[in-house]
Amino acid sequence: MILPKVLKKTTNYLYKKQVKITNRRKINFDCKDKLVKKSEYKKVEEHAN
């Protein structure tokens, strides 16, 4: 009975940890994505002018 409980707890912990990491990466990626797009847009505008 001990082994299944340990496996279950480990699975839940890893699952929760993966969700947190995924959420952090998504937020960071979204922020960087917006900043990069704005920077590229400004560079394109400067070259056009």
- Does 47 reside within a domain? no
Low-confidence ranges of the chain (pLDDT < 70): 1-45, 47-49
- Does 45 reside within a domain? no
- Does 13 reside within a domain? yes
pLDDT for the residue 5: 60
- Does 49 reside within a domain? no
Instruction: List the domain range (segments joined by +) for residue 27.
Output: 2-40
Q: For residues 39 and 28, give the distance between their C-alpha atoms in angstroms, rounded to a whole number.
A: 16
- Does 10 reside within a domain? yes
- Does 48 reside within a domain? no
pLDDT for the residue 14: 61
- Does 15 reside within a domain? yes
- Does 30 reside within a domain? yes
Closest CA to 20 of 12, 32, 8: 12
pLDDT for the residue 49: 59
pLDDT for the residue 1: 47
Domains in the chain: how many in total? Answer: 1
pLDDT for the residue 12: 62
